[in-house]
Amino acid sequence: MPLTTQSRLRLHQNWAGDFPLKFLWTVNFSGRGASMSTVGNNVSTIIKNYEGGSFPVKPSLIEDYSSTSNDLGLLLAQNASLPSEQLTIGTEALQNTGGFRAGYFASRRADYGSQNKLDLTFLETNVDIMDYFIKPWVVATSYKGLIEDGEEDIKCNIDLILYSRSDQFYNDKFSSSNSFSRPQVEYKARKMYSFYDSAPFNIEGGQLSYNNEMSLDELSKTVSFTFSHYKVEDQQ
């Protein structure tokens, strides 16, 4: 095997240069100084004050459907779409510069909001987290707004944790091809996205059918969350 090919393959045998297992991730919701049940109770209070009994709220649903003992997070989560980072670039031309092109400058960084957001997709269950927690949460946010007023706190923090194989199980297959043994693979967190002061503002509608061949798409809905800021943490 040519040396250049071996060098390229060895790059991917090193943990840092290998391709990630992007299907290994979890999402965790946490209240800001309180539990998610407290957030649910606050949502319920706002709904009762403004909507009466229009939207029943089960305050403990997110915690009920989360695995806290083995860090699996909210078990109903299926997909996550992360926000982008974008910078607007402008140009400024001077008069009478002939063939010289206009100079360019950084105008502003893109905002986080209705167009640049965190999207999470969840499965529907018989006791549906969408109708009994998240949809009332969206409505409560519409009444309360996003201003910090020190009253009922309905914002939360969201952590997306990405996992991969542990780096101690990587072998150089070129130098050890005669005696290669595969140990039991272990996994570890490699990266985490943390979104702060989050609240949902959009949830997909539903569709009913008499068709008995249901797809996974028919059993899932996407929720859009706004947030004040986020950070990326190296988990190595």
192-214 pLDDT, tens per residue? 999 999 999 999 888 888 877 77
Three-state SS for 186? coil
Q: What is the pLDDT of residues 9-38, one digit of tens each?
A: 777 777 777 778 888 899 999 999 889 999
Which of 45-49, 62-66, 137-141, 166-170 is predicted with the least confidence, judged by mean pLDDT? 166-170
At residue 174, the pLDDT reads: 47
Q: Is the pLDDT of residue 90 over 50?
A: yes
pTM for the model stands at: 0.84
Q: CA 189, 192, 197, 199 torsion: positive or negative?
A: negative
**Rounded mean pLDDT, 71-83:** 89
Higher pLDDT, 38 or 2: 38
Q: Are 83 and 112 in contact (CB under 8 A)?
A: yes
Token digits for 45? 């209070």
Strands 77-81 and 87-92: unpaired
Domains and CATH numbers, the chain: 20-83+113-170+185-234 (2.30.110)
β-partners of residue 88 are 108
Mean pLDDT in the chain? 85
Q: What is the CA radius of gyration of the chain?
A: 24
Q: What is the pLDDT of residues 154-194, one digit of tens each?
A: 999 999 999 988 777 665 444 444 555 555 667 888 899 99
